[in-house]
Amino acid sequence: MTSAPTNAAPVYRRYRNPDLTELAHSNDTLDVLLRHHSVRNFSPEPIDTATLETIAAAAQSAPTSSNLQAWSVVAVRETARKSRLASLAGDQGFIAQAPVFLVFVADLGRARRLAERHDVPLGGADYLESTLLGFIDAALAAQNAVVAAESLGLGTVYVGAVRNNPEAISDELGLPPGAFPVFGLAIGRPDGDSAGIKPRLPLSAVLHHDTYDSDAADAGIAVYDERLAEYNREQGRESQWTTAVLSRLRDASSLKGRDRIRDALASRGWPSR
């Protein structure tokens, strides 16, 4: 295999499949989506409040289950607080370096406060369905925020390690009961960005027609291992997708504290029955 040229079409760089060099449709929005990649090096250029509000408005334009809008986001720009969050989220220095770190929050606290003010029960919020609803709402909103930020020339990277220490991060952010930190999102102007577009599984691995076809889905894994290994070598790493997946899900210890999330949820007012 040969390395994907940096000026190649985004879809080719996304799949590194010589038989897939263009899609049936193309426009500016699709180009932003196809060019997405994580950025972990940021310039010190600040992100002003007007830009944050633009990104937040895009996030609020995402779908939300039953219009419950069960999410919030905390924009952290204070240097000392970003450093503390970086320490709590896996000691990842780019969190402190980024001009703003957004923490997306599954938030039923708003609904619980409404129930208290109106003196009505809210037993439905205690079930796993409502926990999932809050997490899904936050994820949909965050992805809109990513697309908006990248359309403005900014770089982004999600930080799942916020869930390594959700209770401490909740305290750091002053989250009320019924609010739970789901993930972070570092945003800033890329500086020395060289990550490039990471290849994804073949379309045939994720797109099924009418019924799920395990054989077809798994048939492309071996070639994907090769394509991702090629990308990793370009980035100075040595690993395959299969090895990484099995290692990441090997046992509870590989979850880096996130095996205790159910207890953390309960402590923050999410019984998740």
For residue range 151-203, what is the model confidence (pLDDT) as tens digits?
999 999 999 999 999 999 999 999 999 999 999 999 999 998 878 899 999 99
Same domain, 184 and 206: no
Whether the predicted pLDDT of 211 surpasses 80: yes
Instruction: Judge whether 244 and 100 are in contact, CB under 8 Å.
Output: no
Beta bridge partners of 82: none
Instruction: Judge whether 95 and 42 are in contact, CB under 8 Å.
Output: no
pLDDT at 195: 84
* Residue of 88, 65, 70 whose CA lies nearest to 178: 70
Same domain, 29 and 87: no
The answer as to whether 158 is a domain residue is yes
Same domain, 21 and 95: no
CATH number of domain containing 65? 3.40.109.10
pLDDT at 7: 57
Same domain, 85 and 183: yes
The two structure tokens encoding residue 120: 């009505």
The answer as to whether 23 is a domain residue is yes
Scan for tokens 């290849």, then name that residue: 199
Per-residue pLDDT tens over the stretch 220-252: 999 999 999 999 999 999 889 999 999 999 999
The whole-number average pLDDT for the span 9-34 is 95
pLDDT at 157: 98
* Residue of 203, 68, 185 whose CA lies nearest to 137: 68
Residues of the chain above pLDDT 70, percent: 97
In this structure, which amino acid lies at residue 135? F
In three state form, how does the secondary structure of the chain look? Answer: CCCCCCCCCHHHHHHCCCCCCCCCCCCHHHHHHHCCCECCCECCCCCCHHHHHHHHHHHHCCCCHHHCCCEEEEEECCHHHHHHHHHHCCCCHHHHHCCEEEEEEEECHHHHHHHHHHCCCCHHHHCHHHHHHHHHHHHHHHHHHHHHHHHCCCEEEEEHHHHHCHHHHHHHHCCCCCEEEEEEEEEECECCCCCCCCCCCCHHHHCCCCCCCHHHHHCCHHHHHHHHHHHHHHCCCCCCHHHHHHHHCCCHHHHCCHHHHHHHHHHCCCCCC
The whole-chain average pLDDT of the chain stands at 95
Scan for tokens 């932003």, then name that residue: 32
Scan for tokens 């994580």, then name that residue: 38
* Cα 53 from Cα 195, distance rounded (Å): 28
Whether the predicted pLDDT of 2 surpasses 80: no
Same domain, 27 and 75: no
* Cα 187 from Cα 145, distance rounded (Å): 10
Same domain, 57 and 26: no
- Domain span at residue 205? 10-35+196-234
Per-residue pLDDT tens over the stretch 53-85: 999 999 999 999 999 999 999 999 999 999 999
Structural domains of the chain, count: 2
Same domain, 207 and 139: no
The answer as to whether 241 is a domain residue is no
Same domain, 16 and 55: no
Whether the predicted pLDDT of 3 surpasses 70: no
pLDDT band for position 257 (50/70/90)? very high
Q: How many CB atoms lie within 10 A of CB 138?
A: 26
Whether the predicted pLDDT of 1 surpasses 80: no
Same domain, 168 and 183: yes
